[in-house]
Structure 1
């Protein structure tokens, strides 16, 4: 496991900027929900939570927005583990919100 971390190259300034931007969006979503004067809505809360997980997925994988040429054949093989978990949560929360909307 230690040998894996030794081969990881440090993030570039652009990758840090993209990651910081997605983290800022993920922080702005709950703040805007708290400051709004709308009543609590479970479906809207699920939507906000799923958007936060989507921001986390992109924050874990900034090369997606920086690299001009992506090899789409090996795209799924190069997704980082944290990004895979966040994308899975996003899909699960989106499906759950769909069921909540159908039940309402």
Structure 2
């Protein structure tokens, strides 16, 4: 997902490397969770999903790590995929907090 605008320039090599790094991190988190010897725990699963959505948010927005941050228009520059993933991350984190409080 390069950008929401049809006139978007193709991704640079740096953006592709950053995107690949975040996707690799999400895969490593998932694989390590699958091969862990700990029993299934709902709270741990929510934490896993939170981390994976966090990785997805930054995989959709690699220019954050390559360009200087313009804080005044930071929210205007966030791609839609990153907005959705960050919303899911916050929602899963809040849900996990409630699960921890109840347990």
Is the shorter-chain TM-score for this pair beyond 0.5, marking a shared fold?
yes
* Partner residue, 1:90: 89
Question: RMSD of the TM alignment (CA)?
Answer: 0.6
| Superposition TM-score, scaled by structure 2 size | 0.94
Structure 1 residue 30, shift from structure 2 partner:
1.1
- Paired with 2:69 and 2:64, the residues of 1 have a C-alpha distance of 8
* Partner residue, 1:72: 71
- Output one character per residue of 1:26-46: Cα deviation in whole Å (capped at 9) or x when no partner: 111110011110011100000
* Partner residue, 2:20: 20
When Rg is computed on C-alpha atoms for both structures, the one with the higher figure is 1
Give 4+ residue runs of structure 1 displaced > 4 Å after superposition: none
- Paired with 1:70 and 1:97, the residues of 2 have a C-alpha distance of 30
Structure 1 residue 73, shift from structure 2 partner:
0.4
5 Å matches for 1:31-70? 31-67=31-67, 69-70=68-69
SS in 1 for 2:72: coil
- Paired residues in the alignment total 99
Instruction: Extract unaligned runs of 5+ from structure 2.
Output: none
